[in-house]
Structure 1
Amino acid sequence: MADELELLRAADPVPADGHRFTDGPLDARAERRLEQLLKERGEGHPSPPQARWDRHPARLGERLPPAPGRIRLAWGLVATAVVAALSLTLVLSGPSTPPAVAAPRPLAIDTGSAPVPLARLAERAAAAAGAHDAVRLRKGTHVRSWSLALSEEEPPITLPEERIVRWNADDSHTELVVATDPRHSGRPVLSDEGGDPHLVADGHVLLDRTYPPSWSDAPPQSPPPRDPARLRTYLAEAQYTDAPLTTPQLLDAVATLLDHWTLGARESAALARLLADAEGLRPVGQVTDRLGRRGQAYVNDARGVRRMLIMDPATGTVLGLESTLTEPEPAFGVEEGDVMSYSAWMP
């Protein structure tokens, strides 16, 4: 026992009266001493008292709880592992089929396509609203979205999801959210469910819940009006402001509206007329959205973000909304041209 205690004392890199008591790595000499001690224990020498091992864990090389910086590093290692897994997926699947979790590139305007002014599109929407088989307003939504999760401490990750909200006659409703990327059906999808980035199977259920009956007469829960002026007020209330909406705020309010309602033809016509009167929303031509639908694109640039609204050229229905950075944000690890968010709404 005396020999083992001497070896323990010699292996301790910090003496009991040292200013760094219990804090410091083992030097080479101490490592050799500790290795000798462990070897002798394995050859039949009696073990030292357990209390001494518990009292000074750092002396024996036991890992202490990580500091905050180490936690951030561990998250980075997880993200690195995810990136490595994605790179492997790309290698195995070939260069022409990028992995499902890759960040979507900005939508490209079709070369040679003719821009359609919003005023003309509003006229088409009004004509569609007057048809006998015009689509009717329905509470609830079906949307596929890609959003970039940002943090000053972790690398950005793109989260593709599909959400379906359906309301019942008794004012109860169900919400189903799955992790899926329609561009690459069947491929793994990146999720941050539980607070950690990890790969999940395509179609993995993130939320499946039924809510009890509820009703509200406040936007966006109340039905949207069919008059452009009243719709503008409605959208401002949905954004919790009494001030006139700027065009970026208006587009954000449109996304909020479509995340709660599937518009009918008359509501779409009112929205198209409202958008036609918005400043700084210019037509740029035809695009193919991420669900393969052809639409007319209208762009607004403001404060480092470009918002692109995609609308059905025949009915004026809003198909999608994309937000792309026009300036880099080094603090968040994002560059110019990165897609911040994209939503594709479906009937």
Structure 2
Amino acid sequence: MIWYSHVNEDSLPEIVCSTGYNSVIAVAGSGERLIALLDNANLEQLFVVDTNMSAIELLKLKLVALSELDVEDYLRFIGAEEMSSRERMRCFIKLQNKLESSTIIYWSKNHHFIKKGILYIGQYEQFLSKARPLLKWFLGPSFMKVFNNDYNSFSKFRWKIVKSVFSKKVSYLLLGNKDPAFIGKGVDTSLITNGFQELIDKKEFHKSFMAHLVFLGSLKQMDIEFLPASQNRKILKKIQAKLKNREIKIQFINNDALSFLEDNTSTTFNFNVFLSMSDILSFHKTDYVIKCIKALKVSNKCKCAFVFRSYLRNHIDTDIIKKITALGYKIKDVSNMESTKMYKVHLVEKL
């Protein structure tokens, strides 16, 4: 199953923190964060690690499409812009001679996803397709005016009810959300509605890709300056040139991130390595952070860093911070760089 296929994280913390690193180990996720990370002048190799083979095949398709199609057609093919299902299939057929055999087999069995636009095929995106009509109906046209920077017209009472309803885990269950990040033990879904409330209070709702995706269903109305890097045309053209020139060596590993590190304990990485762990703490307890740090072996001459995200549970606390410090690392909360206001993001660097 593909859990996420669209942008679901603000990649800015990873983009900023990975500058200067020539190697990146990253969890695949929707692939959008990894595409954004390719815009790094120093990057030479990328290890894509994920237990979910579907996520890997999604990213493989995106990367080949970005490499082989022009940027405008790439955005149309994935669903960021309009394209007919017939044209998407033509693009897919055009790409097949560049795809690995496993990728061809996977997507040949999922032509209906290609026709829909691969940005909208994830479990999360399907959940939103059920929730969005209810939200738009109940909040009414006045609420949508916030996307035109009008924060005075909408009903505060109706918004308060929506906040209350979607602060409860049962709402996500009833709408078919099966993601443990939303419905697992210890999840606090009020962080979602509180994040949106903070954006409204700061009058930044119209700038948020998350708000556009949840309430409008796409990023088509976003100002260019606020678009995520993975859908910014100017950035995509730079990334496309790197892909075409084969400037970055990309390896795909179907494994858990920790297992990948443990499998390489006998190997000392002799390069500066940055690990983009996504919201892996949505699925693992915080001790996972310590295990990953202990498993990574890097030459004393090289630097290394992790970025760990937590979403609705398993947040890094003072106890974990003490354990990280004891291992010879420093840790910094960089959540203020995350524009969705829903994630806790920590940078862990070797001293």
Fold shared by both chains (TM-score > 0.5): no
The structure in which a higher percent of residues are helix is 2
Query: If you compute each CA radius of gyration, which structure gives the higher value, 1 or 2?
Result: 1
Question: Larger relative CO (CA 8 A, sep 6+): 1 or 2?
Answer: 2
TM-score normalised per structure 1 = 0.23
